[in-house]
Amino acid sequence: MKTPTGDQALIKRMNTAIVLESVLQGAPLSRADISALTGLNKATVSSLVQDLIDSGLVREIGTGQSSGGRKPVLLEFVAESGYAVGVDLGVNYVRGVLTDLRGGVAVERTAQLDKTSPDEVFGILRPFIQSLIDEAPESAFGVVGIGVGVPGLVDRGGAVLYAPNLGWRDVPLQDALNRAFGIPVLIDNEANVGAIGERKFGSGRGIGSMIYVSVGMGIGTGLILQKELYKGAAGFSGELGHLSIEASGPPCRCGNRGCWELYASEQALLVRAAEAGIGEGTLDSLLALAERGDEQTRALFNGIGESLGVGIANIVNVFNPEAVVIGNTMSRARPWLEEAMSHTTEARALNFHLRGIRLLFAELGDRSAVMGAAETAIAAFFKRLRSA
Amino acid sequence: MKTPTGDQALIKRMNTAIVLESVLQGAPLSRADISALTGLNKATVSSLVQDLIDSGLVREIGTGQSSGGRKPVLLEFVAESGYAVGVDLGVNYVRGVLTDLRGGVAVERTAQLDKTSPDEVFGILRPFIQSLIDEAPESAFGVVGIGVGVPGLVDRGGAVLYAPNLGWRDVPLQDALNRAFGIPVLIDNEANVGAIGERKFGSGRGIGSMIYVSVGMGIGTGLILQKELYKGAAGFSGELGHLSIEASGPPCRCGNRGCWELYASEQALLVRAAEAGIGEGTLDSLLALAERGDEQTRALFNGIGESLGVGIANIVNVFNPEAVVIGNTMSRARPWLEEAMSHTTEARALNFHLRGIRLLFAELGDRSAVMGAAETAIAAFFKRLRSA
DNA sequence: CTTAGTTTGTCTATTGGCTAAACTAAGTTT
DNA sequence: AAACTTAGTTTAGCCAATAGACAAACTAAG
């Protein structure tokens, strides 16, 4: 029986979390507002707010408008009571942010990555992260954690099991960073943190079930189901890039055949462009051509859009999500993809599932993953607060 | 702020639920055992157990072995303190059970269904359910609810939005049954209740994430993720039968192309058998042929097994579940399907995701759905207990 | 057949969080 | 200025869980 038993301390933690949550959501509001909002007694709210003020998470910011009686004392969350580091480890770059507890970016930094062996990457990563930590202002909680997104499979213990594009196998990144910095470190797949980033700060704000499709050289996905990131039994789910859409299609390096990413990724686009002799082997060159009105290039994007739609129709049928968000590099091709993509999805998905669904593109662009990584660390901090 | 705030009543409800849960799990055990198991104080356990005894959910069943001191008084859950009705509404049959609160079957009954209009079905269903209710013995809580599985899409309010095989559209079944019997009624898709049945009573016992694939004339699926039935945003997810496995395959009645169920369902088997001039157009005849060693028939099953494997590989890559359970009529063809199915799945799914996965067949056979329907009603009863 | 030691389950006093109601503080309205 | 409103605090009481004392019922050793 692992279930934690209920006692008074639990109640207090729960109610404190509820009060903190209302301050986070409701921005400037008074103790009376919180009481009305939550149903908690005014006295209870007063007491819990005092605790939060003492801990530094909440502060009073003067009085508000009277509505016929004593003026309310307005409260707000102290975003600068702590900081978090978010890192997006790419195949040839590292991007990092230092954010406050509301996700406000204090420092942002990018570095090149030309070597990819675990040791070399760690040699770059360590001072990179340290420099972000060093820039954090004095605060009540200090730097509360480090979140990292990596292009590969990550197990529950934060070890990178397999990252083909980095050439990594079984790299215990979380352990290493944990030892180096002595603060909580969370490692997750790039698509998973991207999903978290878009849901918290981007186009998926407030959405309960959302599938984030990271379309870069491959296709990765992050599944947010019932407001939570879904991970499979072993911690790695959502390899929708390797969902086969042509059972008898060409073999994929994963062992399967006709995988979605063979048809709908940046890689697929570049291969097709090369076959047709268009562009210079880069997404940028193709985007420029499409921009200039080149019909052949636009047809190419159109085809990718259709293939995206085929996979999205599957996703919609399987998950019946509120939204599908397309992110990563290919989101820049939105103008040339969107119509074919939406059209194909609508033609193929089940009618009932399409009701009210939203097909969106990432708002944060190439920052979905860093921001999500930071948010991961912030969320873990709040979770720790709630349970202690 | 909809979150229920914490107060003492909540604590008591939580702890009562914990105590009840340990009695449910641990079968005959004493108050002292519960205290040791849960960490709750002996006095607390005593008090909560007394409440449960008073309510009729728990009873003392004499003393146990002493381990050198006073003999413990053993407790057990009173399964017969209430009853539930489970109904599996098929296209041409209705199956119903009356179970106690532990899912023990007290009465089981099946009826033919030759008419399928909502009114006609309701005319049959009403006395059918009434007769089950009438057989329930006197008990503390009486018949606590009715669960129904139907072959179609069901919305959150228990209305059948679309059931092509019954020819139903927008039939408010839950409302109708609720009014007729005045006890809680829960309607869900056949595959969803089947998943619940197999997880609770069948081959998926205790498994946290499991995909139930109901392979009948079509393919339906029930997704159990993190121990909970997953429903999409609008309440209907898991149409994995309409996951396209051949983007350029033949059109499906759903509007998409190359849907899984066109390749791997009983229907697909029968179509192929007819093309090859084998059997008499029924699954039974083909099973008999395969049994007798007919090579052509076995090859047919083998092909279906491969197609099942293609879809299962997709499922495994997407959900990384602990188990996939094949249910409904086609589970009877297990001997002729299993090898090709496992082999194809292993060849196509990502290696990491295959670790420890189990490909199972339904243990309850054609009773997965009824049992799951009953369990749905039982679970709802316990949920009500916990929140009041 | 005592007597000591164990184990089960209940009783009792205490703790701590929440609440209603009274109260203080600080405004607005007429 | 008097009457009313609203915000936030203080007070007394409630209730569930707990530690520890205790009674009941048993085993085992001398």
Q: How far is A300 from chain B (nearest CA, A)?
A: 18
Q: Which of B77, B96, B127 is the last residue of a domain?
A: B77
Cβ neighbours of B5 in A, within 8 Å = 14-15, 18, 38-40
CA B11 / C1′ C14 distance in Å? 19
Same domain assignment for residues B218 and B330: yes
Q: Domain for residue A342, yes or no?
A: yes
Q: Does B85 score more than 60 pLDDT?
A: yes
Cα-based angle B323, B326, B331 (whole degrees, multiple of 5)? 145
Q: Which of B26, B51, B77 is the last residue of a domain?
A: B77
Contact flag B242-A350 (C-beta cutoff 8 Å): yes
pLDDT category, B3, cuts 50, 70, 90?
A: low
Rounded to whole angstroms, how far apart are CA atoms B77 and B102?
A: 9
Statement: the CB of B66 is under 7 Å from strand D: yes
How confident is the model over A251-305, as pLDDT tens digits? Answer: 998 889 999 999 999 999 999 999 999 989 999 999 999 999 999 999 999 999 9
- What is the structure's pLDDT at B63? 87
- What is the structure's pLDDT at A67? 86
Same domain assignment for residues B100 and B216: no
CA B121 / C1′ C1 distance in Å? 77
Statement: the CB of A15 is under 7 Å from strand C: yes
In eight-state DSSP terms, residue A253 is T
- What is the structure's pLDDT at A119? 95
Q: How far is B282 from chain A (nearest CA, A)?
A: 27
pLDDT category, B205, cuts 50, 70, 90?
A: very high
Size of interface A-B (CB pairs under 8 A): 192
Q: How far is B34 from chain A (nearest CA, A)?
A: 9
Same domain assignment for residues B17 and B106: no
Mean pLDDT over all residues of chain B?
93
| Strand positions, DSSP E, B56-131 | 58-63, 73-77, 83-89, 93-100, 105-112
Mean pLDDT of A90-109: 97
How confident is the model over B94-113, as pLDDT tens digits? Answer: 999 999 999 999 999 999 99
Cβ neighbours of A247 in B, within 8 Å = 245-246, 258, 263, 307, 310
Residue of A15, A307, A317 lying closest to B243 (CB–CB):
A317
Q: Of B145, B133, B191, B121, whose CA–CA distance to B372 is shortest?
A: B191
Statement: the CB of A42 is under 7 Å from strand D: yes
How confident is the model over A300-311, as pLDDT tens digits? Answer: 999 999 999 999
Shortest CA–C1' contact from A68: which nucleotide? C28
Same domain assignment for residues A139 and A13: no
Mean pLDDT of B315-332: 95
> Which is it for the CA torsion A236, A239, A242, A244, positive or negative?
positive
Q: Of B211, B198, B327, B219, whose CA–CA distance to B269 is shortest?
A: B219
CA B97 / C1′ D9 distance in Å? 59
Same domain assignment for residues B210 and B350: yes
- What is the structure's pLDDT at A81? 97
- What is the structure's pLDDT at B228? 93
Range of the domain at B52: 8-77
Mean pLDDT of A184-196: 97
Cβ neighbours of B246 in A, within 8 Å = 245-248
Shortest CA–C1' contact from B30: which nucleotide? C8
pLDDT category, A1, cuts 50, 70, 90?
A: very low
Q: Domain for residue B176, yes or no?
A: yes
Q: Does A228 score more than 90 pLDDT?
A: yes
- What is the structure's pLDDT at A353? 87
Please give the helix or strand (H or E) that residue A94 lies within, else none: strand A93-100
Q: Of A239, A262, A242, A266, whose CA–CA distance to A254 is shortest?
A: A242
Statement: the CB of A351 is under 7 Å from strand C: no
What Cα–Cα distance (Å) separates residue A208 from each residue in A322, B210, B219? 7, 22, 27
Statement: the CB of A7 is under 7 Å from strand D: yes
Q: Which of B77, B105, B135 is the last residue of a domain?
A: B77
Contact flag A313-B244 (C-beta cutoff 8 Å): yes
Q: Domain for residue A281, yes or no?
A: yes
Pairing of strands A29-30, A58-63: unpaired
Per the CB < 8 A criterion, the answer to whether A248 and A257 are in contact is yes
- What is the structure's pLDDT at B2? 41
Q: Domain for residue A373, yes or no?
A: yes
Cβ neighbours of A318 in B, within 8 Å = 237-240, 243, 318
In eight-state DSSP terms, residue B7 is -
Same domain assignment for residues B141 and B276: no
More confident residue, A232 or B273: B273
Token reading at B241: 């039968």
Contact flag A320-B18 (C-beta cutoff 8 Å): no
Statement: the CB of B62 is under 7 Å from strand D: no
Closest residue, chain A, to B220 (C-alpha)? A318
Pairing of strands A153-154, B58-63: unpaired
- What is the structure's pLDDT at B1? 35
Q: Domain for residue B1, yes or no?
A: no
Rounded to whole angstroms, how far apart are CA atoms B385 and B18?
A: 12
Q: Domain for residue B373, yes or no?
A: yes
CA A66 / C1′ C30 distance in Å? 18
Same domain assignment for residues B267 and B142: no
Statement: the CB of A37 is under 7 Å from strand D: no
Per the CB < 8 A criterion, the answer to whether A122 and A130 are in contact is no
Per the CB < 8 A criterion, the answer to whether A156 and A235 are in contact is yes
Residue B266 phi, psi dihedral angles, 5° rounding: -60, -40
Q: What is the CATH number of the domain that holds B233?
A: 3.30.420.40
CA atoms within 13 A on the CB side of B221: 29
Q: Domain for residue B3, yes or no?
A: no
A contact test, residue of B40, B256, B310, B314 with most A CBs within 10 A: B314
Per the CB < 8 A criterion, the answer to whether B210 and B323 are in contact is yes
Q: Which residues contact B226 (CB under 8 A, 6 or more apart)?
A: A230, B208, B209
Rounded to whole angstroms, how far apart are CA atoms B387 and B364?
A: 31
Mean pLDDT over all residues of chain A?
94
Cβ neighbours of B10 in A, within 8 Å = 6, 11
Number of neighbours of residue B251 by Cβ within 10 angstroms: 11
CA A18 / C1′ C14 distance in Å? 29
Cα-based angle B149, B155, B157 (whole degrees, multiple of 5)? 95
Same domain assignment for residues B376 and B328: no
Statement: the CB of A106 is under 7 Å from strand D: no
Bases of chain D with protein Cβ within 7 A: 4-11, 14-21, 23-28
CA atoms within 13 A on the CB side of B34: 32
Same domain assignment for residues B98 and B121: yes
Per the CB < 8 A criterion, the answer to whether A198 and A204 are in contact is yes
- What is the structure's pLDDT at B76? 94
Q: What is the CATH number of the domain that holds A31?
A: 1.10.10.10
Mean pLDDT of A323-350: 96
Q: Domain for residue B343, yes or no?
A: yes
Q: How many domains does chain A have?
A: 3
- What is the structure's pLDDT at B4? 57
Closest residue, chain A, to B45 (C-alpha)? A5
Residue of A10, A40, A226 lying closest to B11 (CB–CB):
A10
- What is the structure's pLDDT at A3? 56
- Maximum distance among all Cα pairs of chain B, rounded to whole angstroms: 75
Q: Which residues contact A243 (CB under 8 A, 6 or more apart)?
A: A259, A260, A311, A314, B243, B314, B317, B318
Statement: the CB of B65 is under 7 Å from strand C: no
Cβ neighbours of B230 in A, within 8 Å = 225-226
Same domain assignment for residues A232 and A334: yes
Torsion of CA A139, A47, A71, A57, to 10 degrees: 10
> Which is it for the CA torsion B169, B174, B178, B180, positive or negative?
positive
Same domain assignment for residues A191 and A211: no
Contact flag A254-B350 (C-beta cutoff 8 Å): yes
Closest residue, chain A, to B24 (C-alpha)? A1
Statement: the CB of A213 is under 7 Å from strand C: no
Same domain assignment for residues A17 and A158: no
